[in-house]
Every structure is written in C-alpha cells, then in structure tokens.
C-alpha cells in the first residue's frame, strides 16, 4: 500500500512540474492543442509530440505541417500573416515560431507577445 501511495505522489508531483499552454487556430480561434511545456523558449526545438489535441483531431507528427487541421491556416504568426494576405510564406533564417494562446485578458501570440 505504501508503494502505491508513493507512486501516486510521484505522479502528482510530475503533473505539477509542467504547465499546459493552450494553442489556438489563428483564423477560427478554436482551442486545438495543449502544449506540454512551461513556456515556448526562443531558439528551442519544439516537437509535435508535445502538442496534445483538445478536440477530435489527430495527434500531429513531425512530418505534419504546422497548420490547423480544420481550416489549414498556419499556426505560426509569421506564416499566418502571409497566408491571410495571399502571399508566399516567409523564408526563415533564424528561429521564429510564434503561436496563438489565450488568457483571462484575451488572445496573444507567444513567445513574442504580438497582439
């Protein structure tokens, strides 16, 4: 019994050790995924396995484009801006991932805080 309680305690602590960042479709404003990290760190790799679907959509894989599985809008702000204007996607020379999230004050783009 003590082992079971210890295992449950460890699992509880592990759950508290990270936050889930809600990720939304920029066009439809639908909550698509919970990103399983505390934050999106500029320059750090992000992986499809860390995006857990919140609705009935498939789990993304590393080969999938970073687009909304419902409307195909790019999830990255820079690509979304070009897509919305009918332009070609930008060419990235440095890390530039910015995703839409929401808090009590409304929608905003992380990690750069674009509104």
pLDDT < 70 stretches in the chain: 1-18, 95, 112-115
Please give the pLDDT value at position 112.
Answer: 67
Q: Is residue 7 part of a domain?
A: no
Strands (E), 28-77: 31-35, 51-53
Strands (E), 1-115: 21-24, 31-35, 51-53, 99-103, 106-110
As for how many domains the chain has, the answer is: 1
Please give the pLDDT value at position 45.
Answer: 84
Q: Is residue 71 part of a domain?
A: yes
Full domain range(s) for residue 36: 19-110
Helix or strand run (H / E) with residue 78: helix 77-84
Q: Is residue 14 part of a domain?
A: no
Q: Is residue 51 part of a domain?
A: yes
Q: What is the helix, strand, coil percentage profile of the chain, to 5?
A: 25, 20, 55
User: What is the pTM assigned to this prediction?
Assistant: 0.77
Q: Is residue 77 part of a domain?
A: yes
Please give the pLDDT value at position 68.
Answer: 97
Please give the pLDDT value at position 59.
Answer: 95
């Amino acid at each position: 019994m003590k082992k079971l309680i210890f295992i449950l305690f460890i699992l509880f602590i592990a759950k508290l050790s990270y936050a889930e960042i809600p990720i939304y479709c920029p066009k439809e404003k639908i909550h698509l995924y919970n990103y399983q990290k505390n934050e999106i760190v500029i320059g750090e790799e992000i992986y499809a396995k860390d995006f857990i679907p919140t609705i009935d959509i498939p789990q993304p894989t590393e080969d999938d484009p970073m687009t909304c599985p419902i409307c195909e809008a790019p999830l990255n702000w820079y690509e979304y801006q070009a897509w919305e204007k009918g332009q070609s996607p930008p060419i990235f020379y440095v890390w530039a991932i910015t995703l839409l999230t929401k808090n009590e004050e409304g929608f905003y783009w992380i990690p750069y805080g674009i509104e």
